[in-house]
Structure 1
Amino acid sequence: MARVGAPTPRIEDIDAWLAGITQPSALAELAALLVCVGLAWGLVWLVRRASGLPNERSIWFGRQIIDGVMFPMVLLALAYLSFMLLARWLPVAVFKIAIPVLVALAVIRLGVKVLQVVFVNAPFVRSLERSISWLAWVAMVLWVSGLLPLVLEELDDIRWKVGGATLSVRTMIEGALTAGIVLLLALWISAAIESRLLRSATGGQLSLRKAASNAVRALLVFVGLLVALSAVGIDLTALSVLGGAIGVGIGFGLQKLAASYVSGFVMLAERSVRIGDNVRVDDFEGRITDINARYTVVRSLGGREAIIPNEMFISNRIENLSLADPRILQSTVVSVGYDSDVELVMSLLAEAALSQDRVLRDPAPGVNLTNFGADGLEFTLNYWMTDPENGQQNLRSRINLVILQLLRGHGIEIPYPQRVIHTRVQASHAGQDGLEGKRP
């Protein structure tokens, strides 16, 4: 005989549930639950294969099939559908535990994946993940045991009055949960939009899309905060006057911070500085690896990273080594003896530069006789490169080694520094000075 009314996955009578868990029908529920697991795994595998191999930061899939958000969501939907069907003909016991557990798993997985994608390698993410897990499991236990309504009633009785509004512990907790869910969804949507926009963007297009993703994230978080304040019970119209006064004070106190935020959007919009450019800022040279709303990360060839406020890129003089042309000129100076064959030396220096694949052929390396030095003839070898992020000193070192090998192979002298020292001594006869000697 079919039951009337929608069943609820909650244990209302512990003795009846214990009796139901020992019935043969529990085996049918376990079999149905295993079928749901297999179907969920298969459906997620098909969707994953149809959409291509997702990256490691995918919220829906993650690195594997079961560690994303889609698998627990699909499993929860299939399990609840099976629960609704079996509850019409069988005394359900297993699903009254399985459904709340799957709900908790889905909530935990959603919160963890969104936080991992939005805040990459942030130290506080682990604490937030642990807090979400404990909260989800405690709520699940209270829901299954039927104690949740009683706990909420007790919390609702703890009230206090703030101005014209009356608040309670239950209202504060529900508002905090609502705020957390709204902010989590806002971060999820912004992360999905950012991943979509930056998937195949490069160069200037990457900067524009990064600016759009930052603006969307700021807007969504702002809207989420407004919704969270409304959920707590705070009247937003009452904050208009106070918000204006606070805004003026914050505006004067945080001028540098505001300037950095505005400068970040200006940089990304006008594309004067782009991700991947090689720049020199305040005697620090490196490659831009990321442009955030407030600061820009510049990584030097030695591995050091500088966090530079965006205001410096707008108000100070910045050298962009790859704005219009990614080529960079390098040079090395070589001295040879005065009796050397000048034409042979120049050809050997050009040959040494062209021996390296990273040296551009167009424009070709140039060799110039730049100085008649005290010890020999000084030649300057100039050559161009386009990949300074792979190192500059290592390329100059390889070229210098080839130059040394070629000059020695052709018997061309690299002179040592020569100095002549004159010494004046006092003569032995009174009133007579003389030059005793010269020492090379």
Structure 2
Amino acid sequence: MPGIDDIYEFLQNLLRSIGAEVTSPWFYFQIGMILAGAGIAHLAALWVRSKVDVTSVAMGWLAPFRMMMRVLIGNAAIAAFAILMMVARIVMVASTWPSRSYLLAIAAKLAVAWLLIRLATSLIRNETAVRLVSLSAWFVAALSIVGLLDQTVAALDSVELMVGGLRLTPLLAIKVSVLLALALWLANVAGNIIDAWIATLHDLTPSVRVLISKLARILLISFAVVVVLAAAGVDLSALAIFSGAVGVGIGFGLQKIVGNFVSGVILLADKSVKPGDLVTIGDSHGQVRAMNTRYISVSANDGREFLIPNEKLVTERVVNWTYYDTNTRVDVAFATSYDANPRRVCEIAIEIAKATPRVAKVKPPSCSIVEFADQAMKFSLSFWITDPDKGIGNVRSQVMLGLWDAFKIEGSDSSYPIRDMRIDDAPPAAPDSAIEAHLR
């Protein structure tokens, strides 16, 4: 393969040039100056960090400039090293041949390139992305500084793999990866701007706002992918085989994923469930925190987070406690003995409900007697709350505790009597000998 021969020849020339350089005493002299400069730069950076407080120096600056100042102080050793190498290069050029100080120039350029790259990436908030972008950009800059960028690009482009009408090379993969990462980042920034703008449209319901936001992000990502592939020189018509494979995959193994995606779009469009609703789905009860293309997130009061597939909300029974409004009725069942006055019991129960902080005042509580049981009178107390997202069981518990205290003060017994069963005409017990004979 011609590409392998080109790579072999390139490596031979590189090793030959390195062998010629390491035999020169000036090579080791420059290495010594570079090591000495690195040590001095490290000490200078320690002194700068001990004397300069970034918070006080950058007080009142804009956020990007504060971040750049913090990066500059954090990379003070690199900045000091670049300055020392440039000064040493100037001195060496003035006192001897320029060819005897080329390593100093390369070291200075590499340090300056790293410093500029770190300043540029300081606007990125993701630390992992900062490291990845910084190292990748510095590696490309290093190849360009040492004059190996063109040879490296040619070597990466010489290895190819033909898939149908599509030519795949390592260079194409790198270009697509870099451009795609940049395009997706820009799409994410644009999506955040659109989300902020949609949040100001109060005429739209929350579910419609979420639907528009999700569709906008999907369109931005699709547009970014198409633009990157076209910019990288990929023939989009050659991707027909991949689209066919995706269709086969959907037909055989991705039905649930596609079904959940379509169900998510339906939920966002019909507004049956929206962020902030209090829902009960099977055994899961909680507040809808987020709606995604595959699932919804339901947060329970005990800290658990239920991730429920969208398809389940479309095909199964869903209880939405706040579909039209947040007013929710709470029923409390209790009982008292027949010694109590049922009218007074209802009055006390209503007063207790009204005195509970979270009980709504717009709909007054009501209490009614529902059954004359064998041992007690059974009552039902109903009241309304406007904030079911804060919990229903806790407010029910507060009302029941209030009923217990009030009945104790009034002298009414709210507990069930204990039954004491006595059998007077029971036959005498058989002797042990008779039982043993029966068992034989």
TM-score by length of 2: 0.68
Partner Cα distance (1:164, 1:263) in 2: 37
Which residue in the other structure is 2:311 paired with?
Answer: 311
Which residue in the other structure is 1:397 paired with?
Answer: 397
Once the two structures are overlaid, the 10-residue window that deviates more, 374-383 or 95-104, is 95-104
Partner Cα distance (1:290, 1:141) in 2: 45
Which residue in the other structure is 1:184 paired with?
Answer: 185
- What letter is aligned with 1:183? L
With over 3 angstroms needed to count, the CA separation of the structure-2 counterparts of 1:43 and 1:413, relative to structure 1, is closer
Once the two structures are overlaid, the 10-residue window that deviates more, 317-326 or 144-153, is 144-153
1:29-428 aligned within 5 A: 65-66=66-67, 100-105=113-118, 108-109=121-122, 112-113=125-126, 126=128, 130-159=131-160, 167-198=168-199, 200=200, 205-240=205-240, 243-244=243-244, 246-423=246-423, 425=425
* CA displacement at 1:99 relative to structure 2: 5.8
Q: Is the 2:117–2:138 Cα contact (8 Å) retained in structure 1?
A: yes
- What letter is aligned with 1:148? L
Q: Is the 2:166–2:238 Cα contact (8 Å) retained in structure 1?
A: no
Partner Cα distance (1:184, 1:335) in 2: 63
Once the two structures are overlaid, the 10-residue window that deviates more, 243-252 or 189-198, is 243-252
* CA displacement at 1:368 relative to structure 2: 0.6
Q: Is the 2:337–2:416 Cα contact (8 Å) retained in structure 1?
A: no
Partner Cα distance (2:168, 2:337) in 1: 91
- The one-character-per-residue Cα deviations of 1:166-200 (angstroms, maximum 9, x if unpaired) are 554333322322222222222222233223323x4
SS at match of 2:423: strand
With over 3 angstroms needed to count, the CA separation of the structure-2 counterparts of 1:168 and 1:298, relative to structure 1, is closer
RMSD after superposition: 4.3
Q: Is the 1:100–1:144 Cα contact (8 Å) retained in structure 2?
A: no
* CA displacement at 1:203 relative to structure 2: 9.9
* CA displacement at 1:283 relative to structure 2: 2.8
Task: Give 1 or 2 for the bigger CA radius of gyration.
Answer: 2
With over 3 angstroms needed to count, the CA separation of the structure-2 counterparts of 1:153 and 1:245, relative to structure 1, is closer
- The one-character-per-residue Cα deviations of 1:48-94 (angstroms, maximum 9, x if unpaired) are 6xxxxxxxxxxxx6xx94179xx99xxxxxxxxxxxxxxxxx99x99
SS at match of 1:381: strand
* CA displacement at 1:342 relative to structure 2: 2.2
Partner Cα distance (1:44, 1:160) in 2: 55
- What letter is aligned with 1:279? V
* CA displacement at 1:139 relative to structure 2: 2.9
With over 3 angstroms needed to count, the CA separation of the structure-2 counterparts of 1:249 and 1:101, relative to structure 1, is closer
Extract unaligned runs of 5+ from structure 2. 1-26, 38-55, 73-89, 94-104, 429-440
Q: Is the 2:67–2:122 Cα contact (8 Å) retained in structure 1?
A: no
Once the two structures are overlaid, the 10-residue window that deviates more, 292-301 or 254-263, is 254-263
Partner Cα distance (2:124, 2:214) in 1: 21
SS at match of 1:286: strand
SS at match of 1:423: coil
- The one-character-per-residue Cα deviations of 1:298-344 (angstroms, maximum 9, x if unpaired) are 11222211111112222222111111121111122222221212222
- What letter is aligned with 2:67? I
Partner Cα distance (2:167, 2:245) in 1: 25
- What letter is aligned with 1:392? I
Extract unaligned runs of 5+ from structure 1. 1-13, 23-40, 49-60, 73-89, 117-125, 429-440
TM-score by length of 1: 0.68
With over 3 angstroms needed to count, the CA separation of the structure-2 counterparts of 1:275 and 1:226, relative to structure 1, is same
Partner Cα distance (2:68, 2:298) in 1: 34
- Which structure shows the higher helix fraction? 2
SS at match of 1:358: coil
With over 3 angstroms needed to count, the CA separation of the structure-2 counterparts of 1:263 and 1:202, relative to structure 1, is farther
User: Percent identity of the aligned residues?
Assistant: 29
* CA displacement at 1:237 relative to structure 2: 1.1
* CA displacement at 1:412 relative to structure 2: 1.6
Q: Is the 1:295–1:310 Cα contact (8 Å) retained in structure 2?
A: yes
With over 3 angstroms needed to count, the CA separation of the structure-2 counterparts of 1:230 and 1:107, relative to structure 1, is farther
SS at match of 1:421: coil
With over 3 angstroms needed to count, the CA separation of the structure-2 counterparts of 1:373 and 1:67, relative to structure 1, is farther
* CA displacement at 1:160 relative to structure 2: 5.3
Partner Cα distance (1:414, 1:259) in 2: 53
Q: Is the 1:190–1:216 Cα contact (8 Å) retained in structure 2?
A: yes
Q: Is the 2:295–2:310 Cα contact (8 Å) retained in structure 1?
A: yes
- What letter is aligned with 2:177? A
- What letter is aligned with 1:323? Y
Q: Is the 1:176–1:232 Cα contact (8 Å) retained in structure 2?
A: no
* CA displacement at 1:224 relative to structure 2: 2.1
Partner Cα distance (1:400, 1:186) in 2: 54
Partner Cα distance (2:68, 2:321) in 1: 43
Partner Cα distance (1:268, 1:104) in 2: 42
* CA displacement at 1:281 relative to structure 2: 0.9
